[in-house]
A = this chain, B = another copy of it.
């Protein structure tokens, strides 16, 4: 296991200590619990947005806590859910009378703990709404059973913008829902990653192999086979995406080319170029292109392609709204 770490047991907390030391003016933790991650200076009165999930996906999830995006994040161990109590404690800290939106990925452990936090908030008369990202097309044919991956970025962006504009809890939920309804993702892996406390990878791929549709925890995909060119990968991925959510010629989309951790930015831009070529041929307009690491799986190699259809002008304005967190700035 080639990792720059100390004791594997301390992986998550060492990481958090590093983050708080680096960004003390932007984020803090509450209840003396490093894993209760909150924005340092919340805009008063606005709807709070709280996310959460396992460690190992930076900048997901906590990286989106900051100006015009999210207000808090429950930090779980590697690939594990945060606890309901942590989510509840974060909610109490960041909620300011307008309610809390829970926005996180569609994973059993997370759902249960957020649901439990909802019940705890109810006892305190804190209003909550919940919505999960479930954008990974290849993970299930049933929309409700799909897991959430990089496409949650668009939900964060839209919900965050609506909350920043003092939208009500239900309006913020609606913005998140609209982003969700219009977002689809396809991903593929080239190499596995290693959970520090386990010390070896949970799957292997031959030297010339890729896994199409593989999940960010290594969940099996729809095929393993010889690695294809960027153009071919883009072609197959876009077919999957557009079969699932048709986009007509003339319609506008945002695209997000996301690296899983070890894939270089050079390759991501090559892939992005392949995607934009195909969309151009189809007459689909690209409103904005995002390329980089948005949701990783530690040192896994691979990438995902997300498409978010621009449903209306409000959505475009939300996508364009400047945001600033310690991990992600957009002007």
Residues of A within 8 A of B (CB): 2-6, 11, 14-19, 21-23, 55-56, 58-59, 190-191, 193, 207-208, 210, 227, 229-231, 233, 261-274, 276-277, 286, 289, 291, 293, 296, 298-299, 301, 303, 324, 327, 329-331
Contacts and interface: CB of A to CB of B under 8 A. Distances in A.
20 contacts: A3-B264, A3-B267, A4-B230, A4-B267, A6-B229, A15-B270, A15-B273, A18-B268, A18-B272, A18-B274, A18-B291, A21-B272, A56-B264, A58-B269, A261-B262, A262-B299, A264-B296, A265-B293, A265-B296, A329-B329
Specify which of A193, A208, A274 lies most central, judged by the most chain B CB atoms within 10 Å of its CB.
A274
B5 A301 contact: no
Contacts of A299: 262-264, 301
B11 A58 contact: no
B21 A273 contact: yes
A4 B233 contact: yes
Given A14-B273, A15-B266, A22-B276, 9 more contacts: A2-B190, A2-B191, A2-B227, A3-B264, A3-B267, A5-B230, A6-B274, A11-B266, A18-B274
How many copies of this chain are found per oligomer?
2
Contacts of A18: 268-274, 276, 291
Specify which of A16, A233, A270, A286 lies most central, judged by the most chain B CB atoms within 10 Å of its CB.
A270
Contacts of A303: 4
Contacts of A210: 2
